[in-house]
Amino acid sequence: MRQKVFPSVMAKNQKELDHLLKNLHGVADSLHLDVADGKFVPSTSLWFPFRLSKKFKYIAHLMVREPARWIKKYGKKVEFCIVQAESVDVADYVKNTKQQKRKVAFALNPETKVDLIKKHLKDIDYVLILTVHPGFYGAKYLSYPLKKILEIKKINPSVKVIVDGGMNPKTVKDAAKAGADWVISGSFITEAEKPKERMKMMEKAFTNN
């Protein structure tokens, strides 16, 4: 996946999901699914037996307390899953995911230090840096977590770093300067009347740095 900007999808039911997928048709090839269980974060999203359109590829960010259960049930529907490092035993998760020959990807909450995954960075494919407190669209953007990108890249330059949270044409420039490989954009693209135009704005702002 070379795509730099991924629209994200949060939905409480199939009707809402179908509407968002229809709205994003022709905007992007790949989408970022935000899965929330109402326990790890206060909100719920894609916490029902959902159906996905075959018109896209998907990555899933699991803001859930027991990601292994979700992965067992739905993991084959997505290219790879990003689990919250705070919700698992990192060493066990890396080992089990490698055994299954799947990509290893972790998300870090704004306050979570790189130390939590540092020992395992050589075995990690993706790290998602959250620049908001997770679980809702439109949460307050925080720039300080971007410092983690340099720390991660110093240890393993080949890790792809994804930035997610409050991304718009202004804040995406911060992410680009900090060394992000990919960015996720929720409300700015997904909830827009003209998502295709918003996507172009984001790609231009992200790649012109």
Q: The domain spanning residue 87 has which CATH number?
A: 3.20.20.70
Closest to 192 measured CA to CA, from 180, 183, 202: 202
Q: Coil, strand, or helix at residue 199?
A: helix
The DSSP annotation for 63-111 comes to ESS-HHHHHHHHGGGSSEEEEEGGGS-HHHHHHHHHHTT---EEEE-TT
* Whole-model pTM over 0.85: yes
Q: Coil, strand, or helix at residue 40?
A: coil
The two three-digit tokens of residue 180, written as one number = 């992000």
Structural domain count of the chain: 1
Domain extent for 97: 5-207
How many Å apart are CA 209 and CA 207, to the nearest integer?
6
Query: Which residue matches tokens 């979700």?
Result: 70
Mean pLDDT, the chain cut into blocks of 10 residues (209 residues total)? 86 97 96 96 95 97 96 96 98 97 97 98 98 79 97 97 96 96 94 95 90
Cβ 74 vs Cβ 60: under 8 Å = yes
Residue 63 phi, psi dihedral angles, 5° rounding = -90, 65
How many Å apart are CA 162 and CA 184, to the nearest integer?
7
Which residues does residue 9 pair with via DSSP β-bridges, in sequence order? Answer: 33
Can you give the pLDDT at residue 208?
A: 80
Can you give the pLDDT at residue 74?
A: 96
Can you give the pLDDT at residue 1?
A: 60
Show the DSSP H helices in 115-191 as ranges: 115-118, 147-155, 171-178, 187-190
How many Å apart are CA 28 and CA 48, to the nearest integer?
24
